[in-house]
Amino acid sequence: MDLTYVVAMGSERSLVVRPPKLNSLVELLTSHGYSVVGPILRDGVVVLDFIEKFDEALIGVESAPRPGEYRLEEHKGAVFGGPVGPMSMKRWINPPNRIAWSARPEGDQVHVDTPKPRGPRAYLGIRPCDVAARTIFGEVWPGHPDDLVIVAECTSVGETCFCSSMGTGPAAGEGADIVLTEFGEGSVLVRSRSDRGAVLLARMNGAAATEDEIESARSRVAAAAESMVRSIDSEAAREALASMPDSAVWDSVAQRCLACANCTMVCPTCFCTSINDTADLDGVVQRTIRWDSCFTPGFSEIHGGVHRDSVAARYRHWASHKLSTWWDQFGTAGCVGCGRCITWCPVGIDITEEANRIIKEVAHA
């Protein structure tokens, strides 16, 4: 399928860019010094990785996430692989297992190595919920200040998505430099959202986007929002989860939950890590920062023992943090409605279903 770039710059200029390949955008980003991280198809899943050219295998297929299930389906006109796959920018901002520093003896001195600072990255084709998650996650693990974000608005949604009710999608919000919107059959509307984005777009040649084309893109995003089948009343959840530490809902989840921690690993805002120090017989010591999860027994271990010693307590802690106490800590919800925790939960536990059960319980109390 040929792609057409229709570029609308700011509110005053609009351009149509050719040649009809997303590779020209990747090349432009690379020529501006960015390493480009974008979506690729790997092992039957859409993931993010460094790219030197746009992965055309994505064209015409979409992620089809369902509770406890993920598959790819054909979708005419799809360009960026549809709703989110398992990987978010969190994997790239704070990798799952990274060396913080290492030290080795040198004579009577100690030599300390720290990782070299990396250059700026351009994240291409990121979904709006994940751009919102980057801002939330950045409260704990800020990314590189010069990283660029090119968001791809969602024109179709998965069964597990509920970003609309969390106010994070499917239209692009704050935090994007360039906004891409798929429309028609493989056409992409391109708009700048920041000065840096505008500078890049000025380097893209093209003809004007028509009002009809802009409207077509807008209406596809609006239709995607309408088609979402899951939702959480964010305000009600905040109140309800704070007031129900002893609900029977937690025990009912615990009967199904495997405490496998998948939900926290795929969640784009879960930021917990543990620190591991190792030493070898040559005296080399190394500090590693590794993703951790509140679903592991050791996570809540303090002097005297584990204080969240049941699966019910761990799920309650996680869900309550996401939807309620995160507000007290950071002034926002800790959930962006990406639906990953529902998709990648091996038993399909659904945070929207459990939160709505608690809200109902409080309403009838």
Q: Which of residues 225-284 bind ligand SF4 (CB under 6 A)?
A: 257-263, 266-269
CA 99 to CA 101: how far, in whole Å?
6
Q: How far is the CB of 63 from ligand SF4 (least distance, A)?
A: 14
Which of these segments, 46-54, 117-125, 209-217, 332-340, binds ligand SF4 (CB under 6 A)? 332-340
Q: Which stretch binds ligand SF4 (CB under 6 A): 42-50, 196-204, 209-217, 341-349?
A: 341-349
Q: Which of residues 342-361 bind ligand SF4 (CB under 6 A)?
A: 345-347, 349, 351
Q: Any bridge partners for residue 288, and if so which?
A: 99, 276
Output 37 or 267, the one with its CB closest to ligand SF4: 267
Q: Where are the alpha helices (DSSP H) in the chain?
A: 23-31, 90-93, 128-137, 163-166, 195-202, 211-226, 234-243, 248-254, 262-266, 311-320, 326-330, 340-343, 351-363
Number of alpha carbons in the 13 Å side-chain half-sphere of residue 92: 28
What tokens appear for 35 in the block? 């390493």
CA 83/CA 30 separation, integer angstroms: 26
The binder of ligand SF4 chosen from 91, 191, 340, 357 (CB under 6 A): 340
Rule CB under 6 A: is residue 140 a binding residue for ligand SF4? Answer: no
| Nearer CB in complex with ligand SF4: 76/256 | 256
Q: Is 335 in the site for ligand SF4 (CB under 6 A)?
A: yes
Residue 318 Cβ, how far from ligand SF4 at the closest point, in Å?
7
User: How many C-beta neighbours within 10 Å does residue 76 have?
Assistant: 10
Shortest Cβ 141–ligand SF4 spacing (Å) = 15
Specify the residue, 16 or 166, whose C-beta has the smaller distance to ligand SF4. 166
Here the tokens at position 54 are: 């746009």
Q: Which is nearer to ligand SF4, 14 or 332 (CB)?
A: 332
Per-residue mark of binding to ligand SF4, 285-314 (x: CB under 6 A)? ----------x-------------------
> Considering the complex, what minimum distance in angstroms separates the CB of residue 322 from ligand SF4?
5
How far is Cα of residue 266 from the mean position of the Cα atoms in its chain?
Answer: 8
How big is the site for ligand SF4, counted in residues (CB under 6 A)? 25
Shortest Å distance, C-beta 89 to ligand SF4: 12
Residue 61 interacting with ligand SF4 (CB under 6 A)? no
Residue closer to ligand SF4 by CB (options 34, 327) is 327
| CB burial string 11-35: b at 16+ within 10 A, e below | eeebbbbeebebebbbebbeeeebb
CB of 162 to ligand SF4, least distance (A): 7
Q: Which amino acid is at 39?
A: P
Fill in the DSSP letter of residue 206. B
Interior/surface letters 147-178, b for 16+ CB within 10 angstroms, e for the rest:
bbbbbbbbbbbbbbbbbbbbebbbbbbebbbb
Q: Which chain residues interact with ligand SF4 by CB under 6 A?
A: 257-263, 266-269, 295, 322, 335-341, 345-347, 349, 351
